[in-house]
Amino acid sequence: MRSFTEFILSEAEGFRMTGQKLSAPSNYWNMCAHLEIIRKSSALSRKGRLFFLSKYAQHRLSVNIFARRLRMLGILCYLLVLLPASGRAIQEVRVLLYHANENLGFTEQGFHQHMDFLVQNAYHTISIGEFLAWYDQGTALPERPIMITLDDNYIGVYTTVYPILQARGMCGVNFAHSSYVGVEPGGSPPTGSDHCDWDELQEMENAGVLATESHTRTHRNLASLNTVDAWWEIYGSKQDIESSMTAKQCYAIAYPYGSYDADVLTLVESAGYLLGFATISGPNTRATPRYELRRINLTSQEGLETLKQVIDYVPPDTVTIDNRDDGFTTGGVWNASTAVAGYYGPDYFYCAAGTGSTTATWSFTVAHEGWYDLSARWTAQTNRASNSPMTIVTPTVQDSIRVDQRTNGGQWNLLGHYYLFQGDRVNVTVSDDADGYVIADAIRCMPVAATRVRDWELYK
């Protein structure tokens, strides 16, 4: 299911694709009126964010206020989709989820290894406050930002995770179900595990290592509850945390079992939370819905190869160039879009099939001699070209290939394996000489272990 934001943005692209202009304010209102008609469709209004907004409008807002907010969304579509973005690419933030309980695959040794790998490879853990400032205001984050989260407030958060993070200068977030704080096996509510108490939570918070946020009161499946019970879980947990800890403001909630629906999202916002974390895997951007933020579920028993995969690890000397970076140039007319998921950075460019005169080029300089895998990323759709032409040119390489952009969207697709020399200028170009829409999103050049021998001669 597409998020509400994705739906709005795709509608904006639909107006552009069909030739309707959004260059005057009156046309913003026309688009909003079009979206209002769609919103009233019974088939759509019961799904996802559309249902959330329609219920919110019916119960909390007058029709006039809702209409004005739709108009503002129209303006937002114009600003996000049609105006050129800034030169810097929007960062992605991956959020890792652990459970500090050996019965759930947690080991001290494995967590050590994961954290050591992150530190050794220049990843920087960020706090919930830093995440919020980036999400709301675009405040700059350090290179390779990552967030560590723990669910269920098991005692291992205090005895194991806390010292490991503190020793490495790292931080994280502990999502606690407040009715179980300090409860041991045999206690009330019934539990088979020991949990951190309020003094331990305060100590970790004061140290700036682990902030406590909400995981509801009793860890029930929120989507299965009636409104009264769900409110008791959602708002009550926030009250418990803020009243039990010194100078504490609870900003975020993590949904037990990753379960939520449109009614839950309404209650979360009404309770005053600023962020909501699910268990949908993948990276977060500033366009990710505020109350449906992604987290990647890991056990510390999983090896480093799994960790590398989920954080999209790339080794040093890797070059990634997005369509909004300085190393990207175009010739001819390209349009920006976010309508189809799977793009890298803030958006992607597209153009219709043509004669080859419309081009997009990614350029960079090689830092060190060696073998490299050169890959490209695009968004896939049936109207894409099956034969998008891409050329790779360096002082020693001239290669031309055709790629099928109808498939393999949202991933890095290998273009070739090349030996490059320090100082080489590499140019990767795609053109509109194709049989469908051509996508220009991002390229990546990643060093790999040598697999070929250069300058060999046949033994005689």
Q: Which of 324, 339, 294, 292 is nearest to 92 (CA)?
A: 294
Q: Which domain holds residue 378?
A: 319-447
Residue 231 lies in a domain: yes
Domain match, 166 and 260 both: yes
Domain match, 164 and 287 both: yes
Residue 452 lies in a domain: no
**Residue at 171: amino acid letter:** C
Convert 264-303 to b/e letters by CB count within 10 Å (16 or more is b): bbbbbbebebbbbbbbeebbbbeebbbbbbbbbbbbbeee
Question: What is the C-alpha R_g of the chain?
Answer: 25
Domain count, the chain: 3
Q: What is the mean pLDDT of residues 421-438?
A: 97
**In the listed set 60, 82, 104, which residue is the last one of a domain according to the structure?**
82
In degrees to the nearest 10, what's the CA dihedral of 346, 405, 318, 116? Answer: 70
* pLDDT one-digit tens code per residue, 175-201: 999 999 999 998 999 999 999 999 999
**How many C-beta neighbours within 10 Å does residue 199 have?**
11
Q: Which residues contact 376 (CB under 8 A, 6 or more apart)?
A: 390, 403, 412, 413, 415, 428, 430, 441, 442, 443, 444
Residue 189 lies in a domain: yes
Domain match, 192 and 303 both: yes
CA distance 282 to 93: 9
Of 314 and 365, more confident: 365
CA distance 76 to 11: 12
Q: Does residue 35 have a pLDDT over 80?
A: no
The answer to whether 406 touches 386, Cβ cutoff 8 Å, is yes
Domain match, 296 and 258 both: yes
CA distance 103 to 101: 5
Residue 353 lies in a domain: yes
**In the listed set 310, 343, 367, which residue is the last one of a domain according to the structure?**
310
Predicted TM-score (pTM) of this structure? 0.66
DSSP string, 151-164: ES-BTHIIIIIHHH
Q: Does residue 351 have a pLDDT over 70?
A: yes
Domain match, 399 and 296 both: no
The confidence band for 17, taking pLDDT boundaries of 50, 70 and 90, is very low
Q: Does residue 45 have a pLDDT over 80?
A: no
Q: Which residues contact 169 (CB under 8 A, 6 or more apart)?
A: none
Residue 335 lies in a domain: yes
Domain match, 267 and 344 both: no
Q: Which of 230, 237, 223 is nearest to 180 (CA)?
A: 237
